Amino acid sequence: MNIVEVKNVSKQYGSQKVLNNISLSIPKGSIFGLLGPNGAGKTTLIRMLTRITMPDEGKIFFEGDELNDLHIRQIGYLPEERGLYKRMTVGEQLLYLAELKGLKHPEAKSQLAYWSEKFGMNSWLNKPVESLSKGMQQKVQFVATVMHRPKLIILDEPFTGFDPVNANLLKEQILEMKAQGATFVFSTHRMESVEELCTHVALINRAEIVLLSTSAQLKAYENVKLYQIVCNSALSIDSSLCHVLSESHQDNYFQYEIELLDISPKQFIGKILSQTEIFSFTAKVPTMNDIFINATK
């Protein structure tokens, strides 16, 4: 079942079309990567999901109903730019924002205690936000996003300002909440985070969706043709079978990087087995970064 369905949505500012007939579905319990170069339309779509702005055409549905203001309490949004009150203390601010999202004061205090302990924030609660480092502020922003236990959590560049230890802490928390049933929309330029976390991916370029798939299917879509061979003797390779992209020799090892032409890996191996002993034959699966660059060229 889908928690969000975007159907034929378009948005234009003046003569600039920022979204052009976009349709996509976000499955419940997924981590949905919303990717694209700067200016592609990602932020506009996020603002529509949070009712900050409205589509010119098309509709957005939340759990089967057309998205409306009542759904906002079931959505958490961490923007790329921090939206915290700098002079309020951390504790006051988190309680205030949780109550704005519908929590009663005792429940908000209980959630504050839980998250403060989990993220090691107890010593900050009486400090003003402006006294905190960027990474500490980002922790506060994340807690503000999830304290009301939303069904849909939208994270725009959530790892900004984090060192590797805290970035890993946040990843663990995202996966834990996903296991508990939360759905994430995840917008970032850090492709390694997409590789680690996302179950589904939509790639927007120039106001249109150019790729939409699960992460696994997206890699299969790239139709792997590049392979690395390590063997014990030099090869004489028929140029009609593959392009040899590189070759090297060290001690008793010969290494080749090839691009297969109109032949399967199994057939290719059969052609060269009489020449050498093969130590490894490895597919060079494209990274998410490779896919991103190829799709947006």
Counting as low any pLDDT under 50, the low residues of the chain are none
Q: Which fold has domain 2-220?
A: Rossmann fold (3.40.50)
Side-chain half-sphere exposure of 189, counting CA atoms within 13 A: 7
pLDDT by residue (tens digit) across 216-268?
A: 666 555 556 788 999 999 998 888 889 999 999 988 899 999 988 888 888 99
Which pLDDT score is estimated for 80?
A: 84
pLDDT by residue (tens digit) across 179-203?
A: 999 999 999 877 788 888 899 988 8
Which pLDDT score is estimated for 81?
A: 81
Which pLDDT score is estimated for 51?
A: 94
Which pLDDT score is estimated for 26?
A: 96
- In sequence order, the 6+-apart residues with CB closer than 8 A to the CB of 13 are none
Q: Is 39 left (phi over 0), alpha (psi -120 to 50) or beta?
A: left
The DSSP-derived string for 169-220 is HHHHHHHHHHHTT-EEEEE-S-HHHHHHH-SEEEEEETTEEEEEEEHHHHHH
Which pLDDT score is estimated for 222?
A: 53
